[in-house]
Amino acid sequence: MKEQPVYIPAEIEPKWQAKWEADGLYHSDIDPSRQKHYALTMLPYPSGDLHIGHWYAMTPSDSRARFMRMRGYNVVFPMGFDAFGLPAENAAIKRGIHPKEWTYSNIDRMREQLKSMGTMIDWRREAISADPQYYHWSEWFFTQLRKNGLVYRKMSPVDWCPHCNTTLAREQVWGEDRHCERCGTPVIKKDLEQWFFRTTQYADELLDFSHIDWPDRVQALQTNWIGRSDGTSVVFFTESGDTLDIFTTRPDTLWGATFMVLAPEHPLVGKVTSKEQKKVVDAYIHQAVRQTDIQREALDKDKTGVFTGGYAINPVNNERIPIWIADYVLMTYGTGAIMAVPAHDQRDFEFARMYGLEVRVVIQPDDTPALDGNSMTEAIPAYGAMVNSGPLSDTPADLAFDRTIEFLEESGIGHFTVNYRLRDWLISRQRYWGAPIPVIYCPVHGAVDVPEDQLPVMLPDDVEWLPTGESPLKLHPTWKYTTCPLCGEPAERETDTMDTFMCSSWYHLRYLSPEYTMGPFDPQEYDYWMPVDTYTGGIEHATMHLIYTRFFHKALRDIGVVKGPEPMLQLRNQGIVLGEDSEKMSKSRGNVIAPDNLVAQYGADTVRAYLVFFARWDLGGPWNSSGIEGSVRWVRRVWNLFTEPVPAGKPAKHELRSLRRKVHQTLQRVTHDFENFEFNTIISSLMELLNEMYRLREQGVGGSSEWEEAVDIYLRMMAPVTPHVAEELWSRLGKPYSVHTQPWPEVDESAAEEEQITLVVQVNGKLRDRIDVPAAISEAEAKQLALASSSIQRHLDGREPKKVIYVPGKLVNIVG
RNA sequence: GCCGAAGUGGCGGAACAGGCAGACGCGCACGACUCAAACUCGUGUUCCCUCGGGAGUGUGGGUUCGAUUCCCACCUUCGGCACCA
């Protein structure tokens, strides 16, 4: 007898990886005769090592791309690196390594680690955002957006991370303490002249998800983030004759405005303040400015404010109402001024009670006892009939909003308007390791675009690493000095670089043709491959990258660079792999699982199988070192069954039939699960089938054509998840190279069908018996058999069945 | 407060569309193999029980012959947003 080969992943995995690479097995090229499938997974930042999170994100994505390929699609599955960013610069400051060197050596290591996973990545398409041939086009996009009015420069109070020494976009400031998304340091405000992209111009379109299949969770996060409020813009006047615009979502409460509140930074504050009040107003502004946003926005804080001494006229009733300033009104939302309706807004109510201002009821909800402004203990924000509201009094709740807007528009004092929480995207970064902003400042011509034929503006290599809060480019002795493209006179370059999210907003396009020099991408490649069919990655990008890339696509579509409403049709998010202690993995906790070690210990296939199996992919969960043993055993049991000689016997016909049934039922389930991203049950089903094959082997089914079919289908089904061992076994069985280019097997529906079923028999909905019957049993026969059961008779206890329910193929329920 | 996701054995999880709850795996227990251990293989494993059964999918109701699944009201955990007018 031949000795059985031992499963040694370290021998077979590098061998097949080398062969696949040499053969170009995973190259994907335009082929108009086949349907394309663009499978994209979020590109990693080259931080140093590939961690288990990368594996968790990429293994199922790779497996599904492989599955789609076997289903006949021309699949492209590219990879690259989001290579600009702060950690490279921090490494430079800390260790004296040039960011470029740090980044590119990390990329080299991570590329090899990625290769050890055995993915179907087409490395010819690799794109690295820090390459000049890449950032050339990041700069070009900036210029295009600017030409089309989607970029502006503005002095404004912006979020500044004192640790990273740079400004941040609103999206990169997280949590109640408003900390930097990258390093966790609370941000501060700085007044700076910065570049912005007009993301708000696309706010409404970004709220429309009708063209894409994205998780509800992401849609909700983005919708929340964009924060659309429908309301009204109303023009008040100050007594000195200035217009004072306010925004309100409750125009129906306009007659209840008993005072107005301006943000301390509001430009009209100086003008409305009376001589008598100037001192207290100045003092209030002074202390408000000194407070951080966090202090100002703390919810438990009592409302503070001061009277300006000025008055405004409410345009609906010409009433004279006092103007206050208070820090609960934010300059950054709406117009920075509000009408205060204490009876119907809790914040205004608290303020009014604090300072003894009038509370006037103008809304009376139907189900509430008559309201009285003097005795109320809280505001009543519910909708209701309008009262004390001049010509609109008695307007019912459901008409109040629309009627008031009609009234305001007819009177010319207000109109319907929409406000968003979304802010324009601040893209300036005071850092070196990013794509330069291609702008030159000329004393005569102002901010001039670098002409297209002079792109890219190259990053200099020789810079100093000082954490000064200024871009190192600014400190470079010569780099910024240039001449104006318009007049040729001496001028200076912009020394800020772009947010790296700008570079990652279009990487899916660069993959199409990373060597292309005539534009950001080859239009032929674009027309064939785009849009992205399935996009996979972490949920943490819901309100950053995933908003930016949609904005970018829509903006470029309007400029005529790309086509279609959306860049990525289907999005699926993986969860997070936690440490064994159920905590987030971190070096300081010492709970990090290193995939390299796992590969050395178990082989990539087993790690892949376990990552696919151990949790629901969209939820993730804690790692379990003993849990992986299940995957170890599964792979080894497959190996053993398919390499051991299987003795041929004289199997019973029904055993052969049952083998085929199980194979094709499994195929049905595995196909369904791949399609629906339900990866964990793919392995369960394969394990079940394997157990059944072990059992049937003892029944002598070896050597039969049914057994051959089972082995053949089994290897094809496992190939996407465990590519190396599938290829090795496929090859050992003498099948034609490669298993990965084989078509996905077809389900034989008749083989999958059951001809004998177990009918459940219930009495009053409780399980009392099971009977084995032919699947084709008639209703009458089934009911008769069920009633004949002794167990059923006992439970009926002599009662006559009132009703007998029959569910074909499932059960009989006797109601007695 | 608003929005979203999730609550099922000791653990991860399964149950396609309202029809056998707990597939598959981990762990555990017992057995076989072994001088022994590991590996491997086999059996068992929701809880209670008087061995007839009874209870059971976060809680309380409801719809239904029948609910993990649908409806209503809550509770808990996680994530996001938040003096946003």
CA–CA separation, A475 and A461 (whole Å): 13
Q: How far is the CA of A685 from the C1' of B56 (A)?
A: 27
Backbone dihedral angles phi then psi of residue A162, each to the nearest 5 degrees:
-70, -20
Strand B nucleotides with an atom less than 7 Å from a protein beta carbon: 2-6, 11-15, 19-21, 23-27, 39-42, 53-54, 65-67, 79-85
Where is average pLDDT lowest: A176-185, A238-247, A293-302? A293-302
H helix intervals, A148-215 = 203-206
What's the CA–C1' distance between A678 and B75, in Å? 30
CA distance A611 to A616: 10
Range of weakest confidence among A26-40, A438-452, A735-749, A751-765: A751-765
State pLDDT tens for residues A584-624. Answer: 888 888 888 999 999 999 999 999 999 999 999 998 988 99
Nucleotide nearest to A181 (CA to C1'): B80
For A616-664, give the DSSP string: -TTTEEE--TTTHHHHHHHHHHHHHHHHSPPPB----HHHHHHHHHHHH
At A637 the pLDDT is 95
* Residue A157 clears pLDDT 50, i.e. is over it: yes
Report pLDDT for A253: 95
Residue A276, CA distances (Å) to A263, A264, A312, A662, A720 in order: 20, 18, 17, 90, 79
pLDDT of A798 > 80? The answer is no
Read off the pLDDT of residues A26-84 as tens digits, 9 standing for 90 and up.
999 999 999 999 999 999 999 989 999 999 999 999 999 999 999 999 999 999 999 99
* Residue that the structure tokens 């034609």 belong to: A736
Tokens of A470: 């200024």
For residue A361, CA distances in Å to A318, A340, A341, A383 come to 18, 12, 9, 12
Rounded, the Å distance between the CA of A605 and C1' of B26 is 19
Separation in Å: B5 C1' and A469 CA: 40
pLDDT band at A772 (very low <50, low <70, confident <90, very high): confident
Distance A644 CA to B36 C1' (A): 29
Distance B19 C1' – A782 CA (angstroms): 15
Identify the residue whose Cα has the smallest distance to the C1' of B25. A630
Q: Any idea which nucleotide's C1' is nearest the CA of A331?
A: B84
pLDDT for residue A299 is more than 80: no
Residue A286 CB: number of other CB atoms within 10 A? 10
CA A586 to C1' B57, whole Å: 34
Does ipTM exceed 0.90?
Answer: yes
DSSP symbols for A70-126: HTT-EEE---EE---SHHHHHHHHHH---HHHHHHHHHHHHHHHHHHTT----GGG-
On the question of pLDDT at A679 being above 50, the answer is: yes
Q: Decide if A374 contacts A258 (C-beta within 8 A).
A: no
Q: How far is CA A311 from the centre of its chain?
A: 48
Q: Does the pLDDT at position A280 exceed 90?
A: yes
Which residues have CB under 8 Å from A28's CB, separation 6+? Answer: A74, A75, A76, A77, A122
Q: How far apart (Å, rounded) are the C-alpha atoms in residues A29 and A513?
A: 11
Classify residue A464 as left (phi > 0), alpha (psi -120 to 50) or beta: beta
Q: Dump pLDDT digits (tens) for A215-258.
A: 988 999 999 999 999 999 999 999 888 999 999 999 999 999 99
Task: Say which range, A318-322, A344-348, A572-576, A777-781, has the weakest mean pLDDT.
Answer: A777-781
Task: Name beta bridge partners: A440.
Answer: A448, A493
Nucleotide nearest to A539 (CA to C1'): B79
Å: A800 CA to B29 C1' = 46
Given a cut of 90, whether residue A96 has pLDDT beyond it is no
Task: State residue A309 phi and psi, 5-degree precision.
Answer: 90, -10
pLDDT (tens digit per residue) in A335-387:
999 999 999 999 999 999 999 999 999 999 887 888 899 998 889 888 889 99
- Tell whether the model's pLDDT for residue A2 goes beyond 70: no
Band (pLDDT 50/70/90 cuts) for residue A297 is low
- Taking the C-alpha atoms of residue A532 and residue A554, their distance in angstroms, rounded to an integer, is 15
State the nearest residue by CA to the C1' of B66: A765
What average pLDDT does this structure show over A750-764? 86
Assign residue A712 a region (left: φ > 0; alpha: ψ between -120 and 50; beta: otherwise).
alpha
| Reported confidence tier of residue A810, pLDDT bands at 50, 70, 90 | confident
Half-sphere exposure of residue A655, counting CA atoms within 13 Å on the CB side?
Answer: 17
Q: Which two tokens stand for residue A1?
A: 């007898």
Q: What's the pLDDT tens digit per position in A431-476?
A: 999 999 999 999 999 999 999 999 999 999 988 777 666 778 988 9
> Cis ω on the peptide bond leading into residue A229 (within 30° of 0)?
no
Nearest nt (C1') to A688 (CA)? B24
In A148-161, which positions are buried (b, 16+ CB within 10 angstroms) versus exposed (e)? eebbeeeebebbbb
pLDDT for res A298: 55
Q: Give pTM, 2 decimals.
A: 0.93
Q: Is A561 helix (H, G, I), strand (E, B) or coil?
A: coil
Could you give the CA distance from residue A679 to residue A659 in angstroms, rounded to a whole number?
A: 24
Residues contacting residue A141 through CB under 8 Å, at least 6 positions apart:
A502, A506, A520, A552, A556
Residues whose CB is less than 8 angstroms from the CB of residue A626 and which lie 6 or more positions away in sequence, other chains included = none
pLDDT of A295 reads 58
Closest C-alpha among A715, A645, A723 to residue A686: A715
Confidence (pLDDT) at A1: 42
Rounded-to-integer distance, Cα A627 and Cα A198, Å: 49
Q: Containing H/E element for A791? A: helix A790-796
Residue with minimal CA–C1' distance to B14 is A681
The chain-wide mean pLDDT, for chain A, equals 92
